[in-house]
Every structure is written in C-alpha cells, then in structure tokens.
Structure 1
C-alpha cells in the first residue's frame, strides 16, 4: 500500500532509490514488491535504472471531475498544509494522489496546473509539542487524555479531559473537551499542552450527547450576541447635551 501510494504521488518516472526511501524499505525488497504488484494486475512501466511509472491501477475505479471540481479538491487538500498537522497533510496528499491516478490524462494534467493555492505567512502558527495522532485516536476511541496545560496567564495545571473534537484554524489548533477537573466544557490550544498521555476513562457512548449540548450552548451564545448587537443598533447611546 505504501508503494502504491508513492507511485501515485511522486512525479513519474520515479527511481527505485526514491521509492525505497519513501517506503522505508531496501531496494531489494522494493524490486520484490514491484514484482508482487505486477503479478497482482497493477501495470507498472519501467525497470531498475530507468524509473517506474504507474500506468494502470486496478484498485481504483475510473473517475471524472470538471476543471472547477479538480481545483476545489486541490485547494482543499492544499489547505491541510496550512491548517493541519503533518500526518493529516500527508494523508491528504496520498488521498489526492489516488484520485489523480484515476483521472483521464487531460484531467490529470489539469490537476498539476491548478491555479488556486492555499498559503500563509511562515511562522504564523505556534509549534505543537504533543502527539496530535493520540488526540485524534482518543476522540475516535472515546477515551480520556491527561494533559499538562499552560494557559495564557502562564498558569500550569494537570487535567483529565474527555476529548470531543479538534478545531483547525489558520492560527491555531484547538481541542474541545469536557474537563473532569472543572466539570464543564473547555477549549484548549494544543500548542499550550506541555504533556499529553492516554487516560483510562471511557466516555462511550456519551460523546454524541456531549457534543450536541456543546453545540447548542455555543449557538445560544451566538444568538444572544447577535441580539445584543441588533439592540445596540436600534437604541444608540444618547448624544452629549441631550
């Protein structure tokens, strides 16, 4: 699977040395894996010393997208470079490579010349020291995590959190969770976590209900804020001398 993903993603023809480095195997093992894929029906052109090109991938059905749909997909995957962590961005690149591998030649060339790009200034996002994969897995498994957290006032606390979801933005990555220390909802900047470990508390199947209540609470706060703004526009403050 790693070899197929690399063949889909890398510019063709790709050398055996590059493929071996990408898949973290020896060149001898790479040659065996290429032979295995060919025996399974995957059409791979080329040979050792010349580079390999994936010409037909039976694992993927044919696809067709309009030029604008291709632009949208490229922009969405490209934005992961700015919003997500490296593992998430790599997953997006692999998925896009699989999609491109199913496109007709003309549409595949269009994807290489997409005009829309996602970009941000370097250094805008703080570095993250903890394992984001562990956070994602804990959300899926519905198990707690324990963290050492430094807030914006530089206060450090130890907490056990029921992680409900991750929120990506151009400037930071946030964790929405139920804090067992405060018995309430809290949002945490992942970059402010100094330590992260898997906890032992399962909250299955409470996650859906906890998320529903959180969303309802935030929606009520948003509606109250909008109502206050409308009221302020309708009742402007009195002018001096009136």
Structure 2
C-alpha cells in the first residue's frame, strides 16, 4: 500500500472511530502493523495534524489541517443558512450566538465562489411574532439534560395551580409558539410534557440519572407510536 494511501486511511480512521482509539484498533482498521501506526502518527504530527494521546492510552484527532475546504451545493448552503437563521430568530440568546458562530466558521471554510453565494443567500428567516423563549429555564434544562441531572421545578398548570416537582429532563421541543420539555416526572411517575413559559423556577440538583436519558427518550418515543 502506498504511504499516501496509508496516511489517508489512518486519518479517516482517526476521524470516524470512537476516541481515544488505540494503536491496535487503528492497525486493525487500516490493515497495517501497530509499528506502522506509530510511524504514521509521527508523520501526521510532523505535517501539522494535531493528534492527542500516546502509546498505551490511545489517540484522538483534535485538528486536521489536511481537511479540504467544505464543499456544498448552492441549495445545501441555502438550507444550512436558513436553518441557522431560524435558530437565531427562535432560540434563546445562547443558541442565537452559537448559530452566528457556526455560520461564520462554515463560511470561512468555503471556497471563494461558495462563500460569495453564502453572503448573498436567497432564503431568509424573519419572524414578526417571535416565539417566547424563557432564557433562564431553557439554559438550566439544556445543561441538566446534557449532564443527565434531575431538576426541581415549580410549575404553573393551565388552571394557574402551582406544583413542585422533581423531573428528569430528556429533551426540549420547539413548537410553533411555545417550547415543551419532555421529562420523566417523579411526582406522577410517568412521562410528562411541560411548557417552559409555565416553569416559574428551575434548579438543577446533584442527583444524576446517567446513563438513562437515551433509554428513557426511546421509551417516550415508543409511547407516541
């Protein structure tokens, strides 16, 4: 196998395999010896690739300057920017900032012609009546769902009654006018949906429900069927 082909296959393996990936696993994926993996990783590092890790632990590709500029069709660029525009219009402040950052990073990696197309995209998003996004509640719930931690909430129902609940946050759905949290409610011992604009207080706890979030979310989706 030519050395250039071997290095290309190694880069592909580093991009696609779960990290940290051992030299033995890389050798298996690229069909070379472990000794060749060590030499090729040294060669990639010398060429500018940032590869974290060491022998006996495993490796992770942090940055690959050899990646070509992003290439999209004109319609793909429109779809990407339209989606990010929707996030800017409909998300909370943190999501809006993240969308701006993503757009800037993607456009910076586009070839010159496509970067011009992105700068003059045809499709735009404007909302005259933006969706109400409770910034504080969404930030707490988003972080708690990522970290798989229970949240104590004070919730006001449709009749105006307040209840205190401990919930396991699974996902937040952006509907036409409101945001809904899907959660496992300890008070009701079942799946419940909570409108974020009716959450008066949301406080993350130290109680972890890791690694149950993915399984609970699958169970909830199954109940919809």
The 3-state SS of whatever aligns with 1:175 is: strand
Q: CA deviation at 1:184?
A: 0.9
The 3-state SS of whatever aligns with 1:188 is: strand
Q: CA deviation at 1:61?
A: 4.8
- Unaligned runs of 5+ residues in structure 1 are 1-57, 220-242
Say how many residue pairs are matched: 162
- Alignment pair present for 1:183 and 2:183: no
- Alignment pair present for 1:165 and 2:171: yes
- Alignment pair present for 1:120 and 2:124: no
Aligned to 1:10: none
The 3-state SS of whatever aligns with 2:136 is: coil
- Alignment pair present for 1:95 and 2:99: no
Contact 1:160 1:199 in 2 (8 A): no
Per-residue CA deviations over 1:64-86 (Å, capped at 9, x if unaligned) read 21111110111010110233212
Q: CA deviation at 1:141?
A: 1.0
The correspondence for 2:74, drawn from 67, 70, 75, is: 67
Q: CA deviation at 1:206?
A: 1.6
Measured on the aligned residues, the alpha-carbon RMSD in Å equals: 2.0
The 4+ residue runs of structure 1 with deviation greater than 4 A are: 58-61
Aligned to 2:203: 197
- Alignment pair present for 1:82 and 2:82: no
TM-score normalized by the length of structure 1: 0.62
Q: CA deviation at 1:194?
A: 0.9
Contact 1:129 1:191 in 2 (8 A): no
TM-score normalized by the length of structure 2: 0.67
- Unaligned runs of 5+ residues in structure 2 are 1-64
